Amino acid sequence: MFKRFLVAGITAAFLLFLYFWLGQFRSELQAQEIQEGMLRQAEEITSKLSPEELVGQVIHVAIPGTVLDPIAKKEIETIKPGGVILFGRNLGSKSEIKSLNQNLQTSALENTGLPLLISVDQEGGRVIRVKDGVTQFPGAMALGQTKDKDMAKKVGFVTSYQLRKLGLNFLFAPDMDINNNPFNPVINTRSLGSNLETVLNAGVSYEEGARLGGSIPVIKHFPGHGDTNVDSHLGLPKIEKTLEELKSFELIPFQTAIQNGADAIMSAHIVYPKIDPNFPATLSSRILGDLLRKEFQYQGLIITDAMEMDAIDEHYQKEDPGVLALIAGADIILMTSWGPTTQSMRDQILNAYKKGTLVREGKDLLKEAVKRQIYYKLKYGIITEFAEGPKNGRANSIFPKELPEVLKNHFAEQDQNRENLFSQYYQDTLNRDVSRKAIVSFPKTFLPESANIENTVFYLKGEEFLSELRSRSISNSDLASLRKKLEKKEAKRAVLNSFTQTELDLAASLAQKFPEAEIVCLHYGTPFLDLPDSPNLKILFSFSPTPESKKALLYSVLDRKNEVPLVDLILKPNPKKSSASTETEENSVGKNTK
């Protein structure tokens, strides 16, 4: 009897194992079939394109306004671009953004036969292009300081999902640079942190979440822009590190994200003389080709940083940088302008293609780049968005007549999965919770209850701070009144806010003059300033000027019960800094910053 039960149990277990194994096997076969189907479609579409259309597809352009005006129409007709990048000047209300993107896609389908990748920098914090329709999360550095991978994944997903709903399908985030140089003028708070673990954990999680959200996330700036003291918009940075040094630090977040499935990477306009003394990463076959494509076995999209930036424009313009980038391994040449500049880039690449310059080792590099871009437009369902309905213009002859049933089912399932994940990941309190968890203190931890409200005087500037005080019936003082209360010892704590070095220095001077009082400075600008270090001065950082970040700073003084942890960054404390400093506010992110 026992043997029969034993045999029956073993048989049942084996059948159960076989059932799951067969299910997994079928799933893998189906995934392979889907991928092969998309590759065939990409190959078929690419084969229908003329040389002029192939060149256009690898160029992404900008446009001047919030509507498809005559300039934008001409740009699409002339360049026939594979994508358009939008900046703050292009992005109005939610309805205006949707209308613009729909009109851009209609124009592209008529002129190129293919939908566009429409990109945007939406990193959060101080780099927020879309103000309506997308949650204004705090920036990367704030996200890193939460030390919460689950939060990072949710923020990545929600940002990507909401962008896709507006027609923005190409997200230039997350920034995977490790900002280990506090003098870095351009990355700064756009980095997730100063150490490997923080950037690795938050960056890979954000990218994974964003990939699920539907807008293709782009990790940047390969192979690492964190250890520079030159802004590549204004000059040509150089990093004197060997490849082995990069592999042991800067490259780890990129390589890990690639292994985790990252589909798009942006290159850095930085020279690494010990790897390639002649060209920056964007133009370097050693970095994009040998390292990224071959050694890291990366098969995804490579997009250049903006080619008008001075690092390229001032140093390599005579060497046909667009051609060099494609030869190096790039798929997309990013332009942040329109008109003569983009036409010059188009002519440069077209002339090289006709001469055979873009054929290497028997491979047509231009066609390979276009095919890869079309594949990802298929993979993320961008082409299938426009699969139904009548086709006009060039779309009649290029657009797939009918997608295989397996692909139709796959994309329908993909869309449903996104909706389910949004219901699971998004809560009304997510932005608030992330913003609050991001607040950290310098130079020591901060205990919110070390003084009560009755003994606290506030000197805050900015409507978002003031409205929060009014909602709690807390009065705000001017600077003269604050000084008077501290002199008379009517207050044990003073709370100020700051964005610039000058405002930080004011807090330092108060701490020096009134050593018995606790001075709390709510700082929402860059932390990479000369930070005063006084025993009675506490600086709370939000790393972000968003409304929720400012509320979170005030929450940390008024409502928080547990202590605010110490900041985990490489900073610039300077106890000898004069309070007369006139340093201006943090570096702003220009319209062409990626």
DSSP-assigned beta bridge partners for residue 83: 60, 117
Residue pair 347/304 in contact (Cβ under 8 Å)? The answer is no
| pLDDT in single tens digits along all 594 residues of the chain | 555 555 555 665 555 554 555 455 456 767 888 999 899 999 999 999 999 999 999 999 999 999 999 999 999 999 999 999 999 999 999 999 999 999 999 999 999 999 999 999 999 999 999 999 999 999 999 999 999 999 999 999 999 999 999 999 999 999 999 998 888 777 889 999 999 999 999 999 999 999 999 999 999 999 998 777 655 665 678 899 999 999 999 999 999 999 999 999 999 999 999 999 999 999 999 999 999 999 999 999 999 999 998 888 788 888 899 999 999 999 999 999 999 999 999 999 999 999 999 999 899 999 999 999 999 999 999 998 887 766 778 888 888 777 788 888 899 999 999 999 999 999 999 999 999 999 999 999 999 876 678 899 999 999 999 999 999 999 999 999 999 999 999 999 999 999 999 999 999 999 999 999 999 999 999 999 999 989 999 999 999 999 999 999 999 999 999 999 999 999 987 655 433 333 333 333 333 445
* Separation CA 375–CA 39 (nearest Å): 6
Nearest 5°: the CA angle 383, 87, 222 is: 75
- Give the domain CATH number at 515: 3.40.50
User: Are residue 284 and residue 426 in the same domain, yes or no?
Assistant: yes
User: Are residue 143 and residue 278 in the same domain, yes or no?
Assistant: yes
* Separation CA 521–CA 537 (nearest Å): 8
CA neighbor of 343 nearest in space, from 105, 80, 112: 80
pLDDT of residue 581: 32
User: Are residue 412 and residue 451 in the same domain, yes or no?
Assistant: no
User: Are residue 87 and residue 142 in the same domain, yes or no?
Assistant: yes
User: Are residue 139 and residue 177 in the same domain, yes or no?
Assistant: yes
Tokens in use for 49? 């394109």
pLDDT of residue 403: 78
pLDDT of residue 280: 95
**Domain boundary, last residue among 430, 454, 483:** 430
Question: Hey, what amino acid is at 409?
Answer: N
Residue pair 57/373 in contact (Cβ under 8 Å)? The answer is yes
Residue pair 130/91 in contact (Cβ under 8 Å)? The answer is yes
User: Are residue 107 and residue 236 in the same domain, yes or no?
Assistant: yes
The answer to whether residue 7 sits within a structural domain is no
The answer to whether residue 590 sits within a structural domain is no
Cβ atoms < 10 Å from Cβ of 513:
13
pLDDT of residue 590: 37
The answer to whether residue 239 sits within a structural domain is yes
CA neighbor of 192 nearest in space, from 209, 178, 172: 178
The answer to whether residue 307 sits within a structural domain is yes
* Separation CA 514–CA 500 (nearest Å): 22
Tokens in use for 83? 């994508």
* Separation CA 371–CA 40 (nearest Å): 10
pLDDT of residue 182: 87
Residue pair 205/176 in contact (Cβ under 8 Å)? The answer is no
What values do phi and psi take at 220, rounded to 5?
A: -150, 160
The answer to whether residue 54 sits within a structural domain is yes
- Give the domain CATH number at 254: 3.20.20.300
User: Are residue 424 and residue 482 in the same domain, yes or no?
Assistant: no
pLDDT of residue 237: 82
**Domain boundary, last residue among 369, 402, 430:** 430
Runs of H (alpha helix) within 380-437:
395-398, 405-425, 430-437
pLDDT of residue 20: 56
Cα 516 vs. chain centroid, distance in angstroms? Answer: 44
CA neighbor of 63 nearest in space, from 46, 47, 81, 50: 81
459: containing domain: 439-573
3-state secondary structure of 403: coil
Residue pair 495/522 in contact (Cβ under 8 Å)? The answer is yes
The answer to whether residue 97 sits within a structural domain is yes
**Domain boundary, last residue among 403, 430, 457:** 430
3-state secondary structure of 16: helix
Question: Hey, what amino acid is at 414?
Answer: Q
534, with CB counted inside 10 A (0-12, 13-18, 19+), is: middle
- Model pTM score: 0.91
524: left (phi over 0), alpha (psi -120 to 50) or beta: alpha
User: Are residue 464 and residue 545 in the same domain, yes or no?
Assistant: yes
Question: Which residues participate in catalysis according to the annotation?
Answer: 233, 305
Overall number of domains in the chain:
2
Q: Would you list the DSSP string of 291-347?
A: IIIIIS---SEEEPSPTTSHHHHTTTGGG-HHHHHHHHT-SBEE-S--THHHHHHHH
User: Are residue 149 and residue 74 in the same domain, yes or no?
Assistant: yes
User: Are residue 108 and residue 252 in the same domain, yes or no?
Assistant: yes
Residue pair 120/170 in contact (Cβ under 8 Å)? The answer is yes
User: Are residue 156 and residue 228 in the same domain, yes or no?
Assistant: yes
Question: Max Cα separation, the chain?
Answer: 94
CA neighbor of 61 nearest in space, from 50, 74, 47: 74
Exposure class string for 33-61: b at 16+ Cβ within 10 A, else e: ebeebbbebbeebbeebeeebbbbbbbbb
User: Are residue 337 and residue 426 in the same domain, yes or no?
Assistant: yes
445, with CB counted inside 10 A (0-12, 13-18, 19+), is: middle
The answer to whether residue 6 sits within a structural domain is no
The answer to whether residue 11 sits within a structural domain is no
What values do phi and psi take at 394, rounded to 5?
A: -65, -25
Q: State the angle between helix axes of 2-47 and 405-425 in degrees (0 to 180), rounded to the nearest 10.
A: 110
